[in-house]
Amino acid sequence: MKKRIVVTGYGLITPIGIGNEENWNSLVNGKSGIGLIPQERLDTTDLPVKFAGLVKNFDASKYVDPKTVKRHEDFVTFAIVASQMAIDMAEFDLEKADLDRCGTCVGSGIGGFHAIEKTTTAFNEKGYKKISPFFIPTSIINMASGGVSIQFNFKGPNLSIVTACTTGTHSIGEAAHIIMRGDADVMLAGGTESSITPLAIGGFSNMKALSKRNDDPTKASRPFDKDRDGFVMGEGCGMLLLESLEHAQARGAKIYGEVAGYGASADAHHMTAPDDTGDGAKRSMRAALKSAGLEPTDIDYINAHGTSTPFNDRGESIAITEVFGEHAKKLKVSSTKSMTGHLLGAAGSVEGIYCCMAIEKGVVPPTINLENQDPDCTLDYVPNKAQDFSVKYALSNSFGFGGTNGTLIFKKYE
């Protein structure tokens, strides 16, 4: 990374809280945000999975006007509100900023699934006249980035990355590169998702990807545990305000961390299953280390992709062990998906923010529900309780369908 890119603000909307403080308190206390889906939200009678990580007590009107909320699907509204949180935290004065030099890079794995499903039903029952004129602009994925750009009048690069569960990580990494090559001074970057619908639950269930612990939802997401049986769908958003160091210093901003490295790779192996040897994950982590100019021994903490699926957790553990060698035994590794569930396109950015928090607070969040560690997963996964631990460098992994991989390294600002 030839130009220093710093984090001056971030915003979180997840199943474990609205805002940064509530998220952190839930993380360090090992609080699960997963539960049964209320019938008023979604009729799960005929669905094989009846639980998820839902965003709760979300009132967008505290941040944006009701017309904006009505205009957008939740995945867009999440991105706008989380961006406002990031701007507020950064004390970023929109009236003084050169908005031509401020951009947006906000992606989603699935986008407006609610609108697509609802509109398809209306079309099939009553014909094309029942299709809302807002259907297309509310459902397309790049409306997340577009909505954020419009809301804050950011007139620089405006793009959406769609790489399944690696979306949030790639969005941050590519936004950092946009600043690094001089195309912007400031970027709002992250991933957002709200796709918990009957079609999505049914689709992931029939792939045998989801946990079916309907009798005990809070225990369903159990990364690296021998008894894991699949991931748990979640929803939410994580947005970061990134700036060049020079720009942040010029306006006297408080700096919460630095994007030190970014790597990406492809498995080129299978539509959904990761390579058994963790080859793509290894190359992604090594690329991030190279980009940061670091040795494996420099990393203190890894926020793992850790989905709670049999293949991912084993493969990622193998990859970490091979990349870090003997140092792997000294690493703290945890999966915060044990608490949030899997936020799909938003996972990487939310977990990137959690890395920044761990660096700032000197505490690493736990992997909850780790009661019977898989003997094939041999690392220190910070079981069940947060641990005080000094973190200078934190690495965050994301891997997605299509064999797409991304790794970010965050650094304590000095």
104 Cβ contact list (under 8 Å, min separation 6) = 145, 146, 148, 149, 154, 156, 157, 158, 159, 187, 188, 189
CA 225 from chain centre, in angstroms, equals: 22
Residue ranges with strand state E in 135-209: 158-159, 186-193
Instruction: Please name the helix (run of DSSP H) or strand (run of DSSP E) that holds residue 78, with its range, or none.
Output: helix 74-90
Residue ranges with strand state E in 298-402: 301-303, 332-334, 363-364, 387-388, 393-400
Report whether 305 contacts 398 (CB < 8 A): yes
- Residues marked active site are found at 165, 305, 342
Angle, helices 198-206 vs 113-126, to 10°: value is: 110
The whole-angstrom separation of Cα 318 and Cα 283 is: 13
**Which residue has 């299953």 as its token pair?**
273
Burial 265-303 (b: 16+ CB within 10 A, else e): bebeeeeeebbeebbbbbbbbbbbbebbebebebbbbbb
